[in-house]
Amino acid sequence: MNDMITVYLFGKKYTVPSNLTIMGAMEYAGYQLVRGCGCRCGFCGACATIYRIKGDRELKTCLACQTQVRENMYVATLPFFPLVKEVYDINEVPVNEQVMMELYPEIYKCIGCAACTKSCPQGLDTMQYIAYAQRGELEKCAEESFDCVMCGICSSRCPAGISHPQVGLLARRITGKYLAPEARHLTNRVREVEAGDFTELIEAIMAKPLEELKNLYNTREIEK
């Protein structure tokens, strides 16, 4: 039921069923993958891939596990890209644009070409979140970059040498820790647990005989 099609893995020609993903096609061709394969579900960014369809001049980008093969597809995977990852202490960072100036000053060299946005396999507006980072709008940067899988394709296409995924991650950590409002119910509950408010209650339930536990479970009230 599935047609066979021609693909070129790293330039070499293979014939594979048309219903496979690029990753599946590589395995069909006989590759035992070590690099360039991770969660196989589009969440880990291990299988960044660049491809071109024969006759088309444009280079396209994708995740190999989330993209079906096409006739005459030339495929090159990008299993690693040397992103810059700066070391910092999350407890000591400035909570404003200063943090970006100190750690990732190259974001100010962005020339606005939008190659990053165009290449993002998640469809994020990468250039926009870098712009937010430049302006110190860290919450907006966090929001806009939230679905980033850190595959690094954007950085591979960037003429300014920006490590976009790391910029987004820094903005998100600062947002999560400092800028989002505190969950007071969580702070309170931690204090109550530490004060021993639940110690007797948990010990009481642990001490109950099995039949009573079963009865409690089967008749427990479930919040609507």
Partner 1 sequence: MFTAKMMDSVKKVEATRKERMETEPRRMTAEEKEKLLKAYHPDYKEEEFVILKAGPNKGEKVPRELGVLLQARSRIKDTDVDLSSPDYDTDVLIIGGGGAGCAAAIEASKAGAEVLIVTKLRLGDANTMMAEGGIQAADKENDSPQIHYLDALGGGHFANRPLLLKKLVMEAPGALKWLNELGVMFDKDKDGNMITTHGGGTSRKRMHAAADYTGAEIMRVLRDEVLNLPISLADYTSAIELILDEEGRAAGAVLMNMETGELLTARAKTVILATGGAGRLHYQGFPTSNHYGATADGLVLAYRAGAKLLYQDTLQYHPTGVAFPEQIYGALVTEKVRSLGAMLVNAGGEAFMHPLETRDVSAASIIRECANGKGVVTPLGKGIWLDTPMIDLIHGKGTLEKRLPGMLRMYLKYEIDMRKTPILIYPTLHYQNGGIEIGADCQSTIENLFVAGEAVGGIHGRNRLMGNSLLDIIVFGRNAGTCAARRVKDIHTGKLTLAHIREMEEECQRAGIVTDKISPLLLPKYARTAGQL
Q: Give yes or no for a contact between 155 and 162, defined as CB atoms under 8 angstroms apart.
A: yes
Say whether residue 204 binds partner 1 (CB under 8 A).
yes
Q: Which is nearer to partner 1, 57 or 220 (CB)?
A: 220
Question: How far is the C-alpha of 220 from the C-alpha of 25, rounded, in Å?
Answer: 50
Task: Compute how many other C-beta atoms are within 10 angstroms of the C-beta atom of residue 40.
Answer: 17
- Shortest Å, Cβ 224 to partner 1: 9
Query: Which residue is it, tokens 């020609």?
Result: 13
Q: Of the ranges 37-45, 111-119, 125-133, 152-160, which one interacts with partner 1 (CB under 8 A)?
A: 37-45
Question: How many residues sit close enough to partner 1 to count as binding (CB under 8 A)?
Answer: 73
Q: Please name every residue paired with 15 in a beta bridge, in sequence order, or none if there are none.
A: 6
Binding to partner 1 (CB under 8 A) within 82-101 occurs at: 85, 87-90
Q: Give yes or no for a contact between 52 and 60, defined as CB atoms under 8 angstroms apart.
A: yes
Contacts for 66 with CB less than 8 Å, ≥ 6 apart: 21, 42, 121
- Shortest Å, Cβ 160 to partner 1: 22
Q: Which is nearer to partner 1, 40 or 52 (CB)?
A: 40
- Shortest Å, Cβ 66 to partner 1: 6
Instruction: Give the containing element (helix H, strand E) for 61.
Output: strand 60-63
Question: How far is the C-alpha of 207 from the C-alpha of 63, rounded, in Å?
Answer: 51
Question: How far is the C-alpha of 150 from the C-alpha of 162, rounded, in Å?
Answer: 13
Q: Of the ranges 17-25, 51-59, 95-103, 104-112, which one interacts with partner 1 (CB under 8 A)?
A: 17-25
From the list 6, 44, 114, 136, which residue makes contact with partner 1 (rule: CB under 8 A)?
Answer: 44
Q: Which is nearer to partner 1, 89 or 112 (CB)?
A: 89
Binding to partner 1 (CB under 8 A) within 162-201 occurs at: 169, 172-177, 180-187, 189-190, 193-194, 198, 201
The one-letter amino acid code at 76 reads A
Task: Compute how many other C-beta atoms are within 10 angstroms of the C-beta atom of residue 16.
Answer: 21
- Shortest Å, Cβ 88 to partner 1: 6
What binding mask, one character per residue, do residues 136-165 give for partner 1 by CB under 8 A, x or -?
A: ------x---xx-xx---------------
